[in-house]
Amino acid sequence: MNEADDDRLPAALIDAVGSLRDTPAIRSEWRERVMARVAAGSSRRVHVTLPSAIAAAIAFMIAGAGLERLVVRGSTHGQMPTAIEPATRGSPLRPVRFRVLAPGATSVSIVGDFNGWTAGGLPMRRSGDGRLWTADIQLPLGRYSYGFLIDGHLVADPTAPTDMNDDFGAPNSVLMVRGS
């Protein structure tokens, strides 16, 4: 990372990287105690129980999720939306039109976290010329990841921002459904 990169990174990430670069001060008496134990070949083992290991793992996941939300919410880098909000149950539905050019396709559907990534759950209609596929659906306010299933192959929407946090090796498209 160089100085030119700092102009494109969110301030929270720059601060985090800076704190990782700083060498912490270690008190000499602590260092001497540690080195004495190492030299003595201390065979004392730490016993970790399963419940405490699970609790530690959960704590790290929560801390990581909090840091990710802080960095992503403050980010204006690239095409990623800045307002990330979960789908809100009971919020008003908004019409959303999906369109994709797939001239040689025999079947196209929409898959996403709004339909459990169910293949064929939201089939799209082919236009009269056979090139454009469309579907209109209603979604509550929120942030969604999705893609098009074109003849059985998952394809990102070329007109939408992508989310690199995927589970299957390909980026997902991102849709923000917002209020009026």
* Tokens encoding 20: 């990782």
For the segment 155-178, the average pLDDT, to the nearest whole number, is 80
pLDDT band at 21 (very low <50, low <70, confident <90, very high): confident
Quickly list DSSP for 67-111. Answer: HHHHHHHT--STT--S------TTSPEEEEEEEEE-TT-S-EEEE
Between 7 and 120, the more confident residue is 120
Q: What is the pLDDT of residue 150?
A: 92
pLDDT band at 178 (very low <50, low <70, confident <90, very high): confident
Q: What is the pLDDT of residue 169?
A: 66
- Percent of the chain scoring above 90 in pLDDT: 19
HSE at residue 87, side-chain half, CA atoms within 13 A, is 15
Neighbours of 155 (CB within 10 A): 16
Sequence-ordered alpha helix ranges (H) in the chain: 3-6, 11-21, 28-40, 50-73
Q: Give backbone dihedrals phi and psi of 126, rounded to 5 degrees, phi first.
A: -80, 140
- Percent of the chain scoring above 70 in pLDDT: 71
- pLDDT (tens digit per residue) in 101-150: 999 899 999 999 888 888 888 999 999 888 899 999 999 988 898 999 99
- Predicted TM-score (pTM) of this structure: 0.49
Q: Which residue has the tokens 């880098």?
A: 77
Q: What is the pLDDT of residue 63?
A: 73
Q: What is the pLDDT of residue 2?
A: 52
Nearest Cα residue to 96 out of 137, 148, 144, 156: 137
- pLDDT (tens digit per residue) in 33-92: 878 877 777 556 667 788 888 888 887 777 776 666 555 444 433 333 333 344 455 668
Helix (H, G, I), strand (E, B) or coil at 162: strand
* Domains located in the chain, CATH noted: 3-73 (no CATH), 93-177 (2.60.40.10)
